[in-house]
Copies of this chain bind each other. A is one copy, B any other.
């Protein structure tokens, strides 16, 4: 059971990583997200803050808006968000409002992550799994910032 869940988590995290790679290629900080309901991907998005000139265009925010539009309702209970990097305060606040069942992230973000700055931002029932494909998620970020120096 646990191994099956791990495999599933890695599968969906790989999709999130492919979104992060798309961000990378567009010159965006490489963060990608997918939202899954009943084993199906209902939204995928990557960071587009530069392209859209909009600080709110984080991968998670775009994925939430897209998933809610797909479902026709603003609450995403029953859904799992996979995101390559720990959500920031803004995204965690949005995830809290949307009441997702579960959040899975890859790399931690000590500088901006919600677990440091807004540890109670998520809905109390939301389960969090951290560290899935962490190395791959982190490597993408490190490579991006190294290329910018």
Question: A54-65 CB contact bits vs B (8 Å, 1 = yes)?
Answer: 111000010011
Closest chain B residue, CB of each to CB of A71: B53
Interface centre among A68, A89, A92, A96 (most CB of B within 10 A): A89
By a CB distance below 8 angstroms, the chain B residues around A137 are none
By a CB distance below 8 angstroms, the chain B residues around A90 are 89-94, 96-97, 121
By a CB distance below 8 angstroms, the chain B residues around A56 are 56, 61, 64-65, 94, 97
Tell me, yes or no, whether A125 is within 8 Å of chain B by CB: no
Interface centre among A56, A65, A74 (most CB of B within 10 A): A56
Size of the chain A interface, CB-CB below 8 angstroms: 29
Identify A118's interface contact among B50, B53, B93, B94, CB under 8 A. Answer: B93
- With the chains together, A68 CA to B55 CA distance in Å? 9
Tell me, yes or no, whether A35 is within 8 Å of chain B by CB: no
Tell me, yes or no, whether A69 is within 8 Å of chain B by CB: yes
**Among residues 42 to 87 in chain A, which have CB atoms less than 8 Å away from a CB atom of chain B?**
49-50, 53-56, 61, 64-65, 68-69, 72-75
